[in-house]
């Protein structure tokens, strides 16, 4: 089964045929995780809105462990994470979509691993390449005429505030190309569970200090409304391609 984790701008399962709702209990939360299941091109999909019902959970409060565990529990083996980001690199102006290849994690205080308690031995994962390359290439090939930037380093900040101009300048010096608040620990937790994971990053604004414009939620919303349509088109083509070739997704 293929999982889609939607963020800001993608929180409803309207793209699924035969949509149904599942409530999944996990060892990592008192409440249930809500997952929508359905089909696209005959392929079974699971959709999880990262910020919960009504988009109410801020990035630093998301229960990433419960979300990833729930997807794995119902049979998901490949995950496409959709993330809104601020652009740092010249390629990442508003509306641009990237399939990043690396992450630098600047978040803190989040429950970031399944390997913490009750272990028989200390456990480490290889995270040299944080995204699954076969899934990345499927998304890149599925972009079609729209095209995506097929690379980039994703910086994960703590949030929920946006960054200062000095922080963005630092991230730029560190080699970061885009900045979001939800890419970690999501990618690492997927790796710990053995899930194939890749990211579609939608630039919704230039990061702080790179232009004279003030960042507003209104301007971000305008970009999201058009950008998410493109994202869904890429996902649909990726699923269709997978249905024909059984490549890139588990």
Binning pLDDT at 50, 70 and 90, where does residue 198 land? very high
Percent of the chain with pLDDT over 70: 98
Q: What pLDDT, on a 0 to 100 scale, did the predictor assign at position 47?
A: 96
Is the model's pLDDT at 60 over the cut of 80? yes
Contact partners, residue 172, CB within 8 Å, separation at least 6 = 88
Q: How confident is the model at residue 247 (pLDDT cuts 50, 70, 90)?
A: low
Fold of 2-109+128-245: Rossmann fold (3.40.50)
Supply the mean pLDDT for the chain: 92
Element holding 227 (H helix, E strand): helix 217-245
pTM (predicted TM-score):
0.93
Cα–Cα distance, 79 to 2 (Å, whole number): 6
Count of C-beta atoms within a 10 Å radius of residue 137: 15
- Copy the structure tokens of residue 36: 């929508």
The DSSP result for 79-138, as a single string, is: EEEEEEEEE-STT--TT-EE---EEEE---SS---S-SSS-SS------SS-S-HHHHHH
Confidence (pLDDT) at 76: 96
User: What is the model's pLDDT at position 2?
Assistant: 95
Residue 13 has pLDDT above 80, yes or no: yes
In whole angstroms, give the CA distance from residue 173 to residue 223: 27
If pLDDT is split at 50, 70 and 90, which confidence band does 228 have?
confident
- Which of 9, 35, 24 has the alpha carbon at shortest distance from 217? 9
Taking residues 226-233, report their average pLDDT: 87
- Evaluate whether 82 touches 204 at the Cβ level (below 8 Å): no
Residue pair 45/39 in contact by the 8 Å Cβ criterion: yes
pLDDT tens column, 81-120: 999 999 999 999 999 999 999 999 999 999 999 988 877 8
As beta bridge partners, residue 105 has 156
Residue 144 pLDDT more than 90?
Answer: no
pLDDT of residue 52 exceeding 90: no
- Asked whether residue 246 carries a pLDDT value surpassing 80, the answer given is no
């Amino acid at each position: 089964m293929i999982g889609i984790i939607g963020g800001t701008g993608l929180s409803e399962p309207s793209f699924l045929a035969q949509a149904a709702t599942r409530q999944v209990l996990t060892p990592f939360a008192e409440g249930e995780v809500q997952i929508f299941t359905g089909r696209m091109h005959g392929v079974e999909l699971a959709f999880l809105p990262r910020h919960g019902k009504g988009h109410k959970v801020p990035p630093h409060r998301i229960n990433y462990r419960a979300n990833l565990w729930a997807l794995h529990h119902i049979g998901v083996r490949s995950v496409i994470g959709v993330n809104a980001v601020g652009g740092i690199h010249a390629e990442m102006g508003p509306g641009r979509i990237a399939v990043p290849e690396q992450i630098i994690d600047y978040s803190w205080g989040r429950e970031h691993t399944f390997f913490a308690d009750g272990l028989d031995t200390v456990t480490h994962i290889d995270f040299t390449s944080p995204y699954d390359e076969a899934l990345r290439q499927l998304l890149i090939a599925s972009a079609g005429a729209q095209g995506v930037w097929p690379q980039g380093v994703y910086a994960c900040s703590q949030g929920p505030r946006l960054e200062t101009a000095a922080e963005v300048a630092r991230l730029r010096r560190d080699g970061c190309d885009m900045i979001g608040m939800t890419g970690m620990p999501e990618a690492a937790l997927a790796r710990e569970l053995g899930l194939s994971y890749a990211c579609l990053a939608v630039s919704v604004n230039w990061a702080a200090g790179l232009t004279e414009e003030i960042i507003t939620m209104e301007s971000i919303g305008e970009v999201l409304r058009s950008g998410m349509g493109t994202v869904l088109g890429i996902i649909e083509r990726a699923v269709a391609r997978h249905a024909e070739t059984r490549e890139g997704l588990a």
